[in-house]
Structure formats: C-alpha cells, structure tokens
Amino acid sequence: MNTTPTPSRIDDLAAKVAESIPGLFAEATDQITEAINSVMETAQENDGAKAILTLPISVKWDLDGTAVIVSLGVNVKRKYEQIKNLDDHDQPKLGLVEENN
C-alpha cells in the first residue's frame, strides 16, 4: 500500500462520494422511476404491504492507487416467504392434540 488513509484522505473520499451521488441519481432517474412504479404496484396488490425501495450506494476505494468507484444499485427485489415450525426433537409428542404445521 502506497499511502495510509489519513483523516484528510478520508475527508477527500467523502467529498468525492458526495460529489458523485447527484450524477448517479440523474443517470438512473428512468430506472428509479420504473422501480418505484413496480414497488407501488406490488404494494397495492398485497393489501397492507409497505412500498419500500432500497437504493444501495457502494464505494470502492483503490488504496494503492487513486481510483474511487461510486455506484448506485437500482433493482426491484421481490421476496416471498412462508413460516413453518420444525418439530423439537428434544420434546416428546404426547399425542393428545393433532398438530398441524
């Protein structure tokens, strides 16, 4: 490693990241709008579901060089889940009540 990250280099990094974010959002506006519409549609189809869109910002810093890569992720993630209970093998069944999982 050529240089040790110092508070001033970290401040420079933070400034470069902050400088990059508005441009990333401008570049991704159409995709963000599509993602918003998709999330809203899914929330409306599932009564009571919250409409939440996650837009992760990632920073990669080449500590041996000078490059800082700032990226904005735009995608719609759909998650489906079911909750099932596993039998507790340490607890013997008494057979008094029919159990449904």
Task: Give the tens place of pLDDT for each residue, 22-70.
Answer: 999 999 999 999 999 999 988 888 876 788 899 999 999 998 888 999 9
Could you tell me the pTM of the whole model? Answer: 0.66
Cross-strand bridge partners of residue 48? none
Mean pLDDT of the chain: 85
| Residue 89, in any domain of the structure | no
Written as six digits, the tokens of 64 are 């041996």
| Residue 95, in any domain of the structure | no
The answer to whether 25 touches 33, Cβ cutoff 8 Å, is: no
Number of domains the chain is built from = 1
Is residue 80 over pLDDT 70? no
For residue 48, the enclosing domain spans 7-72
> Beta-carbon neighbour count of residue 25 at 10 Å?
14
| Residue 101, in any domain of the structure | no
